Structure 1
């Protein structure tokens, strides 16, 4: 088990380095064709937002789900970078005073503190737009139909019926405590949708049969639930230094979570069940899926 964890964590670090190197290149000062110029403050804020740390879990899931199904590794890397741009845009906007009003992200000043609010808004807007540029660009060596499917799936995961809608529900939950079904829906949208996309993307990149896509999508949904449960447990049990951001804020704002509703013991048991369900979904792939099953364990056991 320890050897497996070492292998998983090495893969996670290696993939993170590759993603960060690509993001650094993608956010270089040199304009792309049909770009007029790259304003330096805005570009610097985007660069800061995506390259200020993080485990790069979502792009890791894209890369490893594509690898499981024989998808093109370089295309998966670029799709992973696009997904990380969407994820980081959401963090920049979530941290704004009008939303979660956070000064700290990954142990460093948030973008609106480091720069200013207007720049943070524009940086988030630009990262979201750039994500679709990265997928559609000629450098992403996939058939046009695959690119269109990826763009559609990412847009649905990120927008009104996915992550952005989930953030709207989360803000509303500060005024009225949601019931259990509403909490599950909120979390599936705000957190789970991008994780679901990360896993489903592997099947789209590999042009796999529909059954593979359904299986990887369901796996993503399960580990998305596990991720949010683990996050809610950590929000109550960890500290800001370990997490790299403020903790205890959901409780302070009266936000409903499944942990608050049922208690930590229930949440930990539910977390273990989500991991078992996720592992069962990957059982048909045998040992080839070991890295992804290790990822499910990592999500449940992480400390930050």
Structure 2
């Protein structure tokens, strides 16, 4: 199976599992807003969960709770990130953002509900082979999504908007390692944690992949199109915010992304040919147009 076909397959499996979990909630506006926010996207994080699980002898079915959980957290983060008090966006995945389609209170509550759904999914007996693995997954996600990871990265991003001078390359790297990289890291290491294996090679892979992903996003913000990305572009440039492109230039950013992809691929050497789909994922993140 080609990488594109495998990505599409895992996206469909993960989305169906996530929407089925949402459909089990009581009917109403919050459930509708959760499902609306959960639809669409590349599902790269879910793909990473399923592929890391496959590397460790687990089937897609055995890893779908974890794949849906990380996509639920990612969806929540986007809903909140789009709010007027955060990045103030009105377009996401080519559709009106949740607070635009409904209202700010609905967006906050739908995001909250998506976040808690992730932990509900991971608490299921089907989420991991044993209790210790489930606790490991839950604890690691709490750290990746919270004030040690994604939330800290978002806080640094907000603080940067009010800073007297643009962030340095080192500061941008730290910010994005939390805001974007933490959830990618959890996803890539999920399979190892599910079977009690050493996640270090996959953590190194994910660290490089996450930064390459963000550099590609910064490049798309300059060169991409709203039609393909499904969101408003060039906001950072208009606001005078530092990005990998503003600090390195377009050519420098591309070079840096290619180096990171090489590092990600090298980190997978312990897995041999079995990790080829993850290597292809690293190449994909800097070649995508959305």
TM-score tier by shorter-chain length is: over 0.9
Distance 2:36 2:153 in 1: 25
What RMSD over aligned residues (CA atoms) do the two structures have, in Å?
1.2
Cα-to-partner distance string for 1:157-215 (whole Å, 9 max, x where unaligned): 1001110111111111111221221111000000011001111111112322x2xx100
Q: Contact conserved, 2:51 with 2:277, CA < 8 A, in 1? A: yes
Q: 2:238 aligns with which of 252, 255, 258?
A: 252
Matches within 5 A, 1:26-65: 26-28=21-23, 30-31=24-25, 38-51=26-39, 53-65=40-52
Structure 2 partner of 1:234: 220
Q: Kindly report which structure 2 residues correspond to 1:143-158, keeping only aligned pairs within 5 A, or say none.
A: 143-158=130-145
Number of corresponding residues:
288
1:85 paired with 2:72, answer: yes
Alpha-carbon offset, residue 253 of structure 1: 1.2
How much does 1:71 deviate?
Answer: 2.7
CA contact 1:75–1:205 (8 Å) conserved in 2:
no
**Cα distance, 1:191–1:141 mapped onto 2, change above 3 Å:** closer
Task: Describe how 1:11-160 pairs up with structure 2 within 5 A.
Answer: 11-28=6-23, 30-31=24-25, 38-51=26-39, 53-160=40-147
1:226-277 CA distances to partner (integer Å, 9 max, x unpaired)?
0001000111111211210000001111111121011011111111111111
TM-score, with normalisation over the residues of structure 2?
0.97
Gaps of 5+ in 1: 1-5, 32-37
Report the counterpart of residue 188 of structure 1 in structure 2.
177
1:300 match: 286
Query: Which segment drifts farther, 101-110 or 66-75?
Result: 66-75
Give the structure-1-normalised TM-score: 0.92
Q: Counterpart in 2 of 1:35?
A: none
Offset of residue 39 of structure 1: 4.9
Given that 2:7 and 2:44 are in contact with CA atoms closer than 8 Å, whether structure 1 keeps it comes out as yes
